[in-house]
Chains A and B, each alone.
Chain A
Amino acid sequence: DTGVSQDPRHKITKRGQNVTFRCDPISEHNRLYWYRQTLGQGPEFLTYFQNEAQLEKSRLLSDRFSAERPKGSFSTLEIQRTEQGDSAMYLCASSLMGQGVPKYGYTFGSGTRLTVV
């Protein structure tokens, strides 16, 4: 297992376009989280899944954002009608069910850096 994978690593898009990011978690992890991070700030929670169920969404997640985790494996995060304020690093993390915040913590991917021009 190579950890949490995110694709693409970088995405430049024009304002108003739609973008989709993919996250492949560690295979035995059934909790998956999306966070957003801007320069000089900590990761901000967006949403999380337990298996295929989306259990919580942040109020930061406007109607333009949607996330899915079909079959409880990989997840996608789509942003519609992108705005310049969406420019950020989008991080995915996974963890193992039954351990709350496990002693080994969340495993983060390297992120997708989105630039909206």
Chain B
Amino acid sequence: GQSLEQPSEVTAVEGAIVQINCTYQTSGFYGLSWYQQHDGGAPTFLSYNALDGLEETGRFSSFLSRSDSYGYLLLQELQMKDSASYFCAVRPGGDSSYKLIFGSGTRLLVRP
């Protein structure tokens, strides 16, 4: 089977740093993506890691360790607007498949 595990909920204070972990078990691996979804909204792409290491985009960074089947999303200088659900997603297929498999999501609550 294919599965992605991430915490269901995380709470943090405005201005702080939070890390959302994701471990995956899939038949293949072509990269780990992160998406943000506000209540009632569409998932929005945040980041993508195909190789080991850290990718930084503004306040958001994403890390991947392929040997550990593990990645995380790091959010710095948290703002109230960062309260949302965050999903990790893996493309497990080969050259002929471009579907993404999503985790169940981590609900982030940012408190004042």
Measured CA separation A106–B105 after assembly (Å): 17
Q: In the complex the two chains form, is B101's CB within 8 Å of A45's CB?
A: yes
Measured CA separation A100–B50 after assembly (Å): 11
What's the tally of chain A residues with a CB closer than 8 Å to chain B?
A: 30
Which residue of the partner chain, among B31, B44, B46, B96, contacts A101 with CB atoms under 8 Å? Answer: B31
Q: In the complex the two chains form, is A91's CB within 8 Å of B103's CB?
A: no
Write out the residue numbers on chain A whose beta carbons fall within 8 Å of the beta carbon of B31.
Answer: 100-101
Residue ID in chain A nearest B35 by CB atoms: A105
Q: In the complex the two chains form, is B104's CB within 8 Å of A40's CB?
A: yes
Which residue of the partner chain, among B41, B43, B46, B99, contacts A45 with CB atoms under 8 Å? Answer: B99
Interface residues on B, range: 20 to 34
Write out the residue numbers on chain B whose beta carbons fall within 8 Å of the beta carbon of A42.
Answer: 4, 87, 89, 102-105
Measured CA separation A97–B96 after assembly (Å): 12
Query: Does A25 belong to the interface (CB within 8 Å)?
Result: no
Chain B contacts to A: CB under 8 angstroms:
4, 30-31, 33, 35, 41-46, 48, 87, 89, 91, 96-105
Chain A contacts to B: CB under 8 angstroms:
4, 31, 33, 35, 40-45, 48, 50, 55-56, 58, 91, 93, 95, 100-111
A-B pairs with beta carbons under 8 Å apart, 29 shown: A33-B98, A35-B102, A40-B104, A41-B105, A42-B4, A42-B89, A42-B105, A43-B100, A44-B102, A45-B99, A48-B98, A50-B98, A55-B96, A56-B97, A91-B42, A93-B43, A95-B98, A100-B31, A100-B91, A101-B30, A101-B91, A101-B98, A102-B48, A103-B48, A104-B45, A105-B35, A105-B48, A109-B42, A111-B42
